């Protein structure tokens, strides 16, 4: 089923459908996200709001709906949110995106403290430059503004990645799978940066 994370009822319906089919809910991964690449003075109020609605409000809806279900079940669970290396360091022309991701970290740290008594852990993962359509869109916006060749911005970013390559979705999936596993039982309120070495905290 399709889900609109900006709509609380849509998220609640998805959780209910999952529970009806599988008999419960143990892991929620709040992964939906968008990025606006624009200088502050050109960012519209609509772009700002849409970014916050998807990237932050969406995580809030997913966390809240899943937590209610997990508390009712009484067996703990995992809430996992999508942050970004931009949640640790702001980037040029990424004001709305970075602000939303910093907020996801703050929300997750607070909720981790609230839900610990229910044995529900809350963590985020912070990818770097992942070779996805979203990053291709960021590259297109940046090259258009700079008058450079399409693809050149993403290629240039590789020079700043110590591991020397763009990230793949599988690089991220492994971290998410770990956070959902029993091996991560004692990890909560954390942000695991998976970016090839761009950011050292």
The catalytic residue positions are: 97, 101
Break the chain down into helix, strand, coil percent, rounded to 5.
Answer: 55, 15, 30
Task: At 101, list the tokens.
Answer: 């991701």
Q: How far apart are the first and last CA of the chain?
A: 38
Which residues, in sequence order, are CB contacts of 107 under 8 Å at separation 6+?
Answer: 56, 59, 60, 63, 81
Torsion of CA 88, 161, 154, 148, to 10 degrees: 100
Question: What does the alpha-carbon distance between residue 62 and residue 64 come to, in Å, rounded to a whole number?
Answer: 6
């Amino acid at each position: 089923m399709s889900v609109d994370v900006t709509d609380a009822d849509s998220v609640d319906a998805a959780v209910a459908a999952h529970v009806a089919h599988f008999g419960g809910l143990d892991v929620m991964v709040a992964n939906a996200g968008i990025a606006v690449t624009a200088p502050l003075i050109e960012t519209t109020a609509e772009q700002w709001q849409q970014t916050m609605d998807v990237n932050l409000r969406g995580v809030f809806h997913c966390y809240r709906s899943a937590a209610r279900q997990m508390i009712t079940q009484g067996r703990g669970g995992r809430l996992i949110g999508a942050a970004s290396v931009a949640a640790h360091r702001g980037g040029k022309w990424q004001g709305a995106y970075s602000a939303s991701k910093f907020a996801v970290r703050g929300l997750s740290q607070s909720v981790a403290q609230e839900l610990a008594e229910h044995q529900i852990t809350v963590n985020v993962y912070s990818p770097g430059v992942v070779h996805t359509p979203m990053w291709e869109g960021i590259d297109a916006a940046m090259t258009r503004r700079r008058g450079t060749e399409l693809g050149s911005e993403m290629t240039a970013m590789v020079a700043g990645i110590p591991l020397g390559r763009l990230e793949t979705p599988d690089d991220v999936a492994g971290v998410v799978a770990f956070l959902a596993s029993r091996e991560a039982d004692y990890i909560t309120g954390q942000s695991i940066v998976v970016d090839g070495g761009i950011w050292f905290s």
